[in-house]
Each structure stands twice: as structure tokens, then as C-alpha cells.
């Protein structure tokens, strides 16, 4: 059973934002997560995570001057875990309808309050069997797009017995997609090499 890690709190066609149930425990950058809009399962790649105050008008203040241990701050101020929250943003990279997986945007964005699950290795393998979704990540406006791609490939490779072969295959795909931008290709390759 896949681990449920949060809930969608903001959804749009190309991305959705989810709030984690546990403070400070967002899924790792680049990991594949899944939610649904009642008919289709939507896959997303985590591209950003943040922890901030629930009330945008009230910024947290530093409280640990006299503490020796960080954890003590939370123990002394149990309300903190209620006033802060961790959210993460994902880029929608594909969806599943029945048994078919499509590596392009879903017809509709997920529902708000849809549960978000971290994908199991089985799902990861199934989804990354084709690397067509890389074009979506490459085209993302995020400044950290290259970091997201490399993190995503590194994590996905862990789902394979022969992770190197997977990464070489992905590298080749990138080499074709980034044939006109060799510097960018090199920087991604350096981040995924084993």
C-alpha cells in the first residue's frame, strides 16, 4: 500500500500544491507522487517544497536562543506544529486511465483535498518505462528545472535493479532532447552520473 503523505490544496492544469500531513516531511525533490481526480490517477514530480506559517501575515520568530537542542523548541512550544505547515509543489507529468499510462498532462487538474501518495517502486518503474515526460520537465519554467530532472532520474533509478542502465538510457534521451544546448546537457549529466 502506497504511503499517503498529504492532500492537494491548490490545483491547476500543469501543477498542484499539496500540504504534508507531517511537518517538515515533504517527499524528496524529484520524487514521483500520485493523486487522482476520481477518474484518472495523476502523476506529478515534486519540484518545490516549503514550510511556512499558516497565516501569511504572521511570520515565525526565532525562539531558540537559550535552547541547546532544536527539538526542545518544539517541545517547549507545542503550538508551533499547528501554526506551521509544510507544502510541496509538483509538476503534473502524466496520468493513468485504467491500465494505460500517458506521459502527458491529464485532461483535468486534480481535486483539492485529493489524497497524495508517494509512488511505490512498482509504479515508478511502470511510469518511467517511457521517458516522454522529460519534455514536460525540461520545459518547466522553474529555475531549478535541471535540478528537478536530475533528482527525479536519480530517485527513479533506485527502483531498478540495474540503475546505471536506466540512467544511461535516460541520459541518451536527454542528449537527444538537449542536442542544441550542450552546456545544459552536460550539467544534467554531471548530476545524474554514477
Partner 1 sequence: MNESSAHGERLGIVVGGSLTGGMEVKLDSATPIEEMAVGRYVVIEGQTSRFFGMITDIELGAIDQQLTITPPDIADSFIADVVTGTSTYGKLQVTPMLTISGDATSLLEGPKPVKTVPRHFSPVREASEQDVELVFGREDERHFYVGTPLDMETKVCLNIPEFVTRSNGVFGKSGTGKTFLTRLRLIGMVQKGAAANLIFDMHNEYGWEGTSEHVPNVKGLKQLFPSQVALFTLDEESARRRKVSTDYVVQIGYDEIEPEDIALLRETLNLTEPAIEAVYQLAREFGQARWLEGFFDLSTREETKELLEKLHVHESSYRNLRRGLERLKRLSFLTPRARDNSVQRILEYLDRGMHVVLEFGRYTDITVYVLVANILTRRIYDQYRERMERAMGEKVDKPHPLVITIEEAHKFLNPEVADQTIFGIIAREMRKYNVTLLVIDQRPSGIYDEIMSQLGTKATYLLDNEKDIDSVLMGVSGKSELKTVLSKLEAKQQALIFGHALPMPVVVKTREYGSTESYRELGFREAAELKRKAEEEIKDLF
> Which residue ranges make up the site for partner 1 (CB under 8 A)?
164, 167-168, 171-172, 174-176, 179-180, 182, 185-186, 189, 193-194
**Of 38 and 179, CB closest to partner 1:** 179
For the CB of residue 128, give the shortest distance to partner 1 in the complex, in Å: 17
Cβ neighbours, 10 Å, residue 72: 13
For the CB of residue 21, give the shortest distance to partner 1 in the complex, in Å: 38
For the CB of residue 152, give the shortest distance to partner 1 in the complex, in Å: 17
Nearest to 15 by CA among 41, 37, 42: 42
Q: Which residues pair with residue 51 across a beta bridge? A: 86
**Of 38 and 180, CB closest to partner 1:** 180
Cite the DSSP H helix spans in 14-161. 70-76, 80-83, 121-127, 134-138, 145-157
**Of 140 and 192, CB closest to partner 1:** 192
Sign of CA dihedral 166, 169, 174, 175: positive
For the CB of residue 72, give the shortest distance to partner 1 in the complex, in Å: 45
Amino acid at each position: 500500500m502506497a504511503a499517503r503523505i498529504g492532500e492537494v490544496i491548490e490545483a491547476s492544469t500543469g501543477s498542484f500544491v499539496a500540504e504534508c500531513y507531517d511537518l517538515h516531511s515533504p517527499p524528496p525533490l524529484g520524487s514521483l507522487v500520485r493523486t487522482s481526480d476520481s477518474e484518472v490517477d495523476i502523476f506529478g514530480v515534486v519540484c518545490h517544497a516549503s514550510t511556512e506559517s499558516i497565516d501569511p501575515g504572521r511570520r515565525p520568530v526565532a525562539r531558540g536562543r537559550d535552547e541547546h537542542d532544536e527539538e526542545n523548541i518544539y517541545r517547549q512550544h507545542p503550538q508551533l506544529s499547528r501554526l506551521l505547515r509544510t507544502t510541496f509543489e509538483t509538476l503534473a507529468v502524466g496520468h493513468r486511465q485504467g491500465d494505460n499510462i500517458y506521459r502527458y498532462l491529464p485532461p483535468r487538474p486534480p481535486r483539492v483535498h485529493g489524497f497524495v501518495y508517494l509512488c511505490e517502486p512498482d509504479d515508478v518503474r511502470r511510469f518511467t518505462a517511457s521517458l516522454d515526460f522529460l519534455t514536460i520537465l525540461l520545459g518547466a519554467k522553474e529555475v531549478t528545472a535541471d535540478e528537478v530532472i536530475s533528482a527525479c532520474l536519480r530517485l527513479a533509478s533506485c527502483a531498478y535493479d540495474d540503475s546505471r542502465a536506466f540512467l544511461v538510457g535516460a541520459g541518451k534521451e536527454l542528449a537527444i532532447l538537449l542536442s542544441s544546448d550542450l552546456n545544459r546537457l552536460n550539467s544534467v549529466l554531471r548530476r545524474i552520473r554514477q
